[in-house]
């Protein structure tokens, strides 16, 4: 099972952490650094090792070093660049290899346009360390990885790393990292003398600026937490408003249905009253009697025309009646009378 290890909290001797201004991309400031040395124990116990030192063999390094490619480097301003802060990533590793001297190197670039203060901080403190021999101001790199370990057979208090997966690294002051050979420095086309020609007053101002920056980072953290709390309150209020709005809409629908029902009842009552008034005035007038004609009257009226019709059979009679354009009732009466007469004869 892999354990999570972070290399930190130990004194170390470092080389330069190199940054470069060269390169055409405005947001890429290349770096190069040593993460650890192979085949020898670390100078201090990394977090997660239970107080023991760790050792990475050259064969294990060669097998798993490429897992660092694509991982990020972070820096922790809040603790004065002395610890890891995985949520504040400022650089990325795009190359990893082992040198003939037994050092595990990584290369990549810092997002210089996004984090100009990080680049300036590294160059400033590395410059002080070089000019005044203040090794505690040298920057180093502290690796982060998940590893499978076992007790070393040839040394006490040492864990041999059998396999690992690199998950990132931290840029921090040299005396806070675990391997003495670990390094992290800014490569620069300018010489160190050009970078650090500063008066004591300027150095003091820079130090005060760094202190203010650390305090500001703490304030930002508190502000972010306050914003998170406020957003939570807003979400709660919004949910309450939505619930109230939904309840109001439901109440409005119920009130509308009640109003429609009342209007229907009022209309029915009004019709009921009108019907009662009509009944009180008496029965409605009788329907006028329809005027009808008897068969004899129709024969008398149209007898001459019927006699002029061709043929005396019933079919010819009906055809003659149809040509007279009579009403349907009159036509039927004549036809039925003629059928009756033919039957009697």
Encode pLDDT of 179-206 as tens digits.
544 445 434 333 333 344 456 666 667 7
Instruction: Look at residue 137 and tell me if it is in a domain.
Output: yes
Query: Same domain for 190 and 217?
Result: no
Instruction: Look at residue 269 and tell me if it is in a domain.
Output: no
Q: Which long-range contacts does 189-193 make (Cβ < 8 Å, 24+ apart)?
A: 189/20, 189/21, 189/22, 190/21, 192/126, 192/127, 192/130, 192/131, 193/131
> 34-67 pLDDT, tens per residue?
888 999 998 888 888 888 999 999 999 999 999 9
Per-residue pLDDT band at 13 (split at 50, 70, 90): very low
Query: Same domain for 43 and 18?
Result: yes
pLDDT at residue 308 in the model: 59
Query: Same domain for 27 and 156?
Result: yes
Instruction: Look at residue 327 and tell me if it is in a domain.
Output: yes
pLDDT at residue 268 in the model: 83
Query: Per-residue pLDDT averaged across 156-164, rounded?
Result: 93
Nearest-angstrom CA–CA distance, 22 and 27: 11
More confident residue, 74 or 260: 74
pLDDT at residue 306 in the model: 61
User: With pLDDT > 70 as the criterion, what percentage of the chain qualifies?
Assistant: 69
pLDDT higher than threshold 70 for residue 78: yes
Question: Considering its fold, how many domains does the chain have in total?
Answer: 3
Query: Same domain for 23 and 156?
Result: yes
DSSP secondary structure, 179-204, as one string: -TT--BEE--SS-HHHH----HHHHH
Expressed as residue numbers, the domain containing 225 is 198-231
Q: Where are the beta strands (DSSP E) in the chain?
A: 3-6, 18-19, 28-37, 53-56, 72-75, 89-98, 103-111, 139-151, 158-173, 185-186
> 84-115 pLDDT, tens per residue?
888 889 999 999 999 998 999 999 999 989 99
Q: Is 83 helix (H, G, I), strand (E, B) or coil?
A: coil
Query: Per-residue pLDDT averaged across 57-85, rounded?
Result: 88
Q: Which of 45-54, 98-107, 160-169, 245-254 has the lowest mean pLDDT?
A: 245-254
Distances in Å between the Cα of 241 and the Cα atoms of 230, 234, 238, 246 are: 16, 10, 5, 9
pLDDT at residue 193 in the model: 35
DSSP secondary structure, 259-306, as one string: HHHHHHHHHHHHHHHHHHHHHHH-PPPPPPPPP---HHHHHHHHHHHH
More confident residue, 40 or 177: 40
pLDDT higher than threshold 70 for residue 310: no
Nearest-angstrom CA–CA distance, 272 and 267: 9
pLDDT higher than threshold 50 for residue 327: yes
Contact 74, 171 (CB under 8 A): yes
Question: pTM score, two decimals?
Answer: 0.49
pLDDT higher than threshold 80 for residue 218: no
Residue 42 CA, chain-centre distance (Å), reads 43
Instruction: Look at residue 12 and tell me if it is in a domain.
Output: yes
Reduced to 3 DSSP states, what percent helix, strand and coil does the chain have, rounded to the nearest 5?
45, 25, 30
Query: Same domain for 188 and 207?
Result: no
pLDDT at residue 152 in the model: 94
Query: Same domain for 69 and 99?
Result: yes
Instruction: Look at residue 331 and tell me if it is in a domain.
Output: yes
Q: Is 338 helix (H, G, I), strand (E, B) or coil?
A: helix
Instruction: Look at residue 59 and tell me if it is in a domain.
Output: yes
Instruction: Write down the mean pLDDT value for the chain.
Output: 75
Query: Per-residue pLDDT averaged across 291-305, rounded?
Result: 59
Query: Same domain for 136 and 39?
Result: yes
Query: Same domain for 175 and 226?
Result: no
Q: Which stretch, 35-39, 80-84, 325-329, 335-339, has highest mean pLDDT?
A: 35-39
Query: Same domain for 161 and 208?
Result: no
Contact 31, 109 (CB under 8 A): yes
Query: Same domain for 160 and 302?
Result: no
């Amino acid at each position: 099972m892999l354990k999570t290890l972070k290399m930190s909290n130990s004194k170390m001797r470092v080389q330069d952490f190199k940054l470069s201004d060269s390169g055409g991309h405005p947001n890429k400031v290349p770096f190069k650094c040593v993460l650890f040395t192979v085949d020898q124990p670390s100078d201090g116990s990394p977090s997660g090792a239970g107080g023991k030192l760790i050792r990475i063999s050259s064969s294990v390094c060669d097998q798993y070093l490429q897992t660092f490619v694509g991982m990020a480097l972070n820096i922790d301003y809040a603790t004065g660049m002395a610890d890891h802060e995985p949520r504040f990533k400022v650089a990325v590793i795009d190359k990893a290899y082992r040198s003939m001297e037994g050092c595990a190197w990584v290369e990549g670039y810092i997002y210089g346009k996004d984090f100009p203060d990080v680049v300036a901080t590294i160059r400033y403190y590395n410059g002080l360390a070089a000019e005044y021999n203040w090794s505690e101001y040298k920057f180093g790199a502290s690796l982060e990885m998940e590893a499978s370990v076992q007790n070393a057979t040839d040394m006490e208090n040492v864990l041999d790393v059998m396999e690992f997966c690199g998950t990132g690294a931290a840029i921090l002051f040299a005396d806070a990292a675990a391997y003495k050979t670990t390094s992290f420095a800014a490569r620069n086309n300018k010489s160190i003398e050009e970078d650090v020609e500063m008066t004591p007053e300027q150095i003091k101002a820079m130090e005060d600026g760094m202190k203010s920056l650390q305090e500001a980072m703490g304030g930002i953290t508190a502000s972010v937490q306050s914003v998170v709390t406020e957003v939570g309150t807003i979400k709660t209020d919004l949910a309450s408003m939505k619930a109230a709005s939904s309840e109001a809409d439901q109440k409005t629908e119920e009130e509308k249905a009640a109003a429609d029902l009342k209007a229907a009842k009022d209309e029915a009552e009004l019709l009921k009253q009108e019907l009662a008034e009509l009944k009180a005035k008496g029965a409605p007038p009788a329907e006028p009697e329809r005027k009808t004609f008897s068969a004899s009257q129709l024969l008398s009226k149209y007898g001459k025309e019927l006699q002029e019709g061709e043929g005396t059979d019933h079919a010819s009679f009906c055809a003659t009646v149809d040509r007279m354009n009579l009403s349907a009732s009159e036509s039927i009466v004549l036809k039925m009378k003629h059928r009756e007469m033919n039957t009697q004869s």
